[in-house]
Every structure is written in structure tokens, then in C-alpha cells.
Amino acid sequence: MERSDHTKAAILGAGRGGHALLDLLHQIPSIEIVGIADRDPDAPGLQRAREIRVPVSDDVPSLIRTPGLGLIMDVTGDPAMEIYLHAHKPSAADILSGSASRLLWKLIQHESKLEAELLQAEKLAGIGSFASGIAHDINNPLQLILGLAENLIEERDLTAVHEQARDIVEAVKRTSAICRDLTQYSRRASHREEALVSINGKLDEALKIARYASSFHDIEMIKHYQTGAAVKGNPDELLHVLVNLITNAVHAMEQVGGTLTLETKLLNGQVDVRISDTGCGIAPEKIPEIFEPFFTTKAPGKGTGLGLYNVKTIVNKMHGRIAVESELDKGSVFTLTFPNGESTEQGCQS
């Protein structure tokens, strides 16, 4: 089972630095945190560790003797600890302490900032393609409102006046919902805002956004949602993942139409999300490349090539996996597998 890129790490010190390291390392699937230690049982890092189910300890000697331990991160700031570790650490374990630990923290922070920038850039580039969808969805109700209002100037039948006024109110509400949806989607994903998210609710939300990016005409929708499917993650980032996959699926069927199937399943403690289309499919030799940055099959200026790359980054961060099956001219299936958020729909953010 032990893979070469898999590292067991222990964190010593659970103050601000330990807390931050814990949060950052916890996001990296190839790092297993075997424990975090501090003398103070109320240290913030220990509280956080209990929340995310990382073993908590006050016994440094036994923690550093954990079998297979590869990395000890010392952020206690205690010179005595440094001396102790050098004398007693297992030979296979590396020690990162003091300024090296702080540097690592800074680098990881920098990387996560770059990732967030990349995500935002791709999202904003994508919004350009929403223009025709937005124009359609705003100008149609405006036409109705204008036509009815012009008619109301002369209308003498009171019943008709009331009915048309009500139609205007409804049309205005529909139009304002568009701005609400889009401003929410375009905002920068709030930093490390993790929550339990109802995956079914997010899929429906993503569907609304994706309708601006592509024409759903001639596309049949099938939904198979299992109630209670919830995952842990940043709700804005998850929305972005789903919008991306749905938009790709619809684009794959653009010329001929087809069926878009959205499925969620709870199985053996994990949540499966499946997005299938019956579109053009992906050539087998291209499949290994699709998650690479700047890979695109779209015309120059149409796609950033960052869509699936960002999707994969976010899914990994959520401790999930992404798999694709595809056949040319038959369609593609993207399956996301996440650890179960361990909850029902109640208390979920959608």
C-alpha cells in the first residue's frame, strides 16, 4: 500500500503555526498527518485536529516513533525541542524546524494564492461566453415588460390591467434573479471556507449558471439524485467544478443535441457524482492530456485550457478523485468520488 509519494508527517506545536500547517497539509492527499502534539490541551491546532479527526497527543517521544514516519515538523519554537529531536528521531525521518518550517508554510500559502488566482482568471474568462445567454435572458423579459407597459397606457379593461401588471412583476423578478446568480458565481471563492455542501443543491445551482454559457436547446435532462448526498469543501469552488463539467458536457452535444444525465450516489461511505453526455466524446489518445494545464480542443480565444486542470485541483483538495470514460461519437462520463460528508441534507449549505 505504501506509495513512494506518500508521506507520514507529525506536527509538533499546535499554536498559530501548527494550526496553519495542519490545515495546509490536510489538503494534500499524499500527506498523512499521524499526529499533532502540544503541551497545552487547549491549543488552537489541537482543537482543529479534533475537528478534522487528526490524532492529538501530548507525548512527543511516542509520536516521533510512529512506524513509517517520514517527516517531523517542529513549530514549537523551543530550542530544547530541537536538541531533543536531533538526539532521538528515527533515522528515516526528516526534521523541518524553525525557519525551514516557516518558509514551507509561506511557499504553500503562496501556491494556494496562485491557484486561487488561476481559478478566478479562468472563471472570469468563461463569463465572456455567458454574454449571449445573459442577453437572451434579460432582453426577453424586457420585451414582455415593455410591450405590456405600452399596452397598459391604453388598456381600459381593469381585469386585463391587473393581469398584465402581475406579469410585469413576475418578469422583473425573473430578470433580477439572473444578476443574483451571476454575481454570486463570479465572486472570488472565499478563502478556506469549508462547509458541508449538499451536492444535489449544488448541481441544480450549477445547471442554472451553465445555461448562460451554452444553449440547452435540444438537450434532454435526466437527474438521478440520491437524497442526503453531502460533501465537505468550499461551496464556491465545488460550484465552479460542477459548472465546468456540465458546460463541457453540453458543448460536446452542441451540434446534434443529446442527453445530459446528472447522478449522485451514496455508496460505502463515499459520494459519487456522475455527469454524462451523449456527445462527441474524447479521442483515447487525448484522455491522458485533458487534465493538463492549457489543454483545449476549442478554437483559439474560445477556451483557456484551464477548466479541467482547475477542476482536478479542486477535487484533489477536497480529497476526492475524478475519473473519465469516453468513446468517440458516443459520449463521455465524468465521475467525481468524494469522501462522504457524513450528514444528511440537514444543516447543509447549498
Partner 1 sequence: MSEFKSGFFIGGEACNGRVLVVDDEPDIRKVVKMTLQKAGYEVLEAENGEKAIEVINSGENRLLLDVVICDIRMPKINGAEAIAYFRSNYPHVPLIVLTGFPDTDMATSFLRQGVVDYLVKPVEGEKLRSAVARAMEQRELARL
**Footprint on this chain of partner 1 (rule: CB under 8 A):** 131-132, 135-148, 150-151, 167, 171, 215, 217-218
Instruction: For residue 298, count other CB atoms closer than 10 A to its CB.
Output: 12
Comparison of 58 and 170: residue with beta carbon closer to partner 1: 170
Comparison of 62 and 143: residue with beta carbon closer to partner 1: 143
Cα–Cα dist 81/13, whole Å: 10
Grid cell for residue 89:
528521531
Comparison of 30 and 132: residue with beta carbon closer to partner 1: 132
Q: How far is the CB of 148 from partner 1 (least distance, A)?
A: 6
Can you name the residues that pair with 196 across neighbouring β-strands? 232
Cα–Cα dist 213/242, whole Å: 13
Comparison of 78 and 155: residue with beta carbon closer to partner 1: 155
Q: How far is the CB of 207 from partner 1 (least distance, A)?
A: 17
Q: How far is the CB of 113 from partner 1 (least distance, A)?
A: 37
Q: How far is the CB of 145 from partner 1 (least distance, A)?
A: 7
Closest CA to 186 of 209, 211, 216, 214: 209
Pairing of strands 321-327, 331-339: antiparallel
Closest CA to 319 of 235, 232, 245: 232
Q: How far is the CB of 161 from partner 1 (least distance, A)?
A: 13
Q: How far is the CB of 158 from partner 1 (least distance, A)?
A: 17
Q: In 53-64, which positions are buried (b, 16+ CB within 10 angstroms) versus exposed (e)?
A: ebebbeebeebb
Comparison of 94 and 218: residue with beta carbon closer to partner 1: 218
Closest CA to 210 of 156, 150, 133, 140: 133
Query: According to DSSP H, which parts of the chain are helical?
Result: 16-26, 44-51, 60-63, 79-88, 98-127, 131-154, 158-186, 199-213, 235-252, 307-317
Comparison of 81 and 178: residue with beta carbon closer to partner 1: 178
Q: How far is the CB of 249 from partner 1 (least distance, A)?
A: 17
- Is the distance from CB of 83 to CB of 64 less than 8 angstroms? no
Q: How far is the CB of 245 from partner 1 (least distance, A)?
A: 23
Closest CA to 209 of 251, 234, 242: 242
- Is the distance from CB of 93 to CB of 64 less than 8 angstroms? yes
Residue 275 burial (CB < 10 Å; 0-12/13-18/19+)? buried
Comparison of 142 and 328: residue with beta carbon closer to partner 1: 142
Q: How far is the CB of 180 from partner 1 (least distance, A)?
A: 19
Comparison of 252 and 306: residue with beta carbon closer to partner 1: 252
Comparison of 216 and 225: residue with beta carbon closer to partner 1: 216
At 234, phi and psi to the nearest 5? -80, 115
Angle 49-231-241 from CA coordinates, rounded to 5° = 115
